[in-house]
Chains A and B, each alone.
Chain A
Amino acid sequence: DTEVTQTPKHLVMGMTNKKSLKCEQHMGHRAMYWYKQKAKKPPELMFVYSYEKLSINESVPSRFSPECPNSSLLNLHLHALQPEDSALYLCASSRIAGNEQFFGPGTRLTVL
């Protein structure tokens, strides 16, 4: 298995909702990442997990809460989001932090 999967593909949520994004890889990678990408812009790093521990948080608002239950899974819990949080959320993984990253197809999030 050489891919990163993300669910759901699309998500529409209200500002008071709680939802979660899920990312999975079975390549034995020990680093996993969350990115946010706005239209016509490059991805912006949000979080990095290395060996299931949070190693980088790019000053992301607390309404985004990452979780790494095991080495194959990465979740992003969403609560009380704002319309400006609407974006494509990309998950990536790499063998270890610093190696080439492999990206999932993303979750298109719309906050109403």
Chain B
Amino acid sequence: AQSVTQLGSHVSVSEGALVLLRCNYSSSVPPYLFWYVQYPNQGLQLLLKYTSAATLVKGINGFEAEFKKSETSFHLTKPSAHMSDAAEYFCAVSPTDSWGKLQFGAGTQVVVTP
């Protein structure tokens, strides 16, 4: 079974500093990978996706993620944090042997300080 692990349930960054959120997956076959963001009392918004094309994926709001097969990682970064980036971030994997079963990580709460 495929799974995804997010390192760090809470991350605090200063406004203007680098945002780095870590995600590792376990799978013998590279799955599809996604990052979602959830603002308070809202649904999830897709930030970006990896579907076996380019390993460096650019998303919305200045975020990007790099797929590293050797490290089974898909870390999310943003060069300069903005106050509006404060939210919950979920990494998710779509197993290739069970289409439709999006497996989420536990989530990382990002706090941005002035």
Contact B46 A102, beta carbon cutoff 8 Å: yes
Docked Cα-Cα span, A102 to B36, in Å, equals 10
Also in contact, A104 and B100, with CB within 8 A (given A42-B107, A98-B94): no
Interface size class of B (residues with CB under 8 A): 20 to 34
Instruction: Tally inter-chain residue pairs, CB-CB below 8 A.
Output: 52
Interface of A is mostly: strand
**Interface status of B41 (Cβ within 8 A of chain A):** yes
Given the known interface contacts A33-B100, A98-B94, the answer about A42 and B43 at a Cβ–Cβ threshold of 8 Å is no
Residue of A nearest to B96 (CB): A98
Contact-residue bracket for chain A:
20 to 34
A66 CB–B CB distance under 8 Å: no
Q: Are B100 and A56 in contact, with the CB atoms below 8 A?
A: yes
Which residue from A6, A50, A102 sits with its C-beta under 8 Å from B100? A50
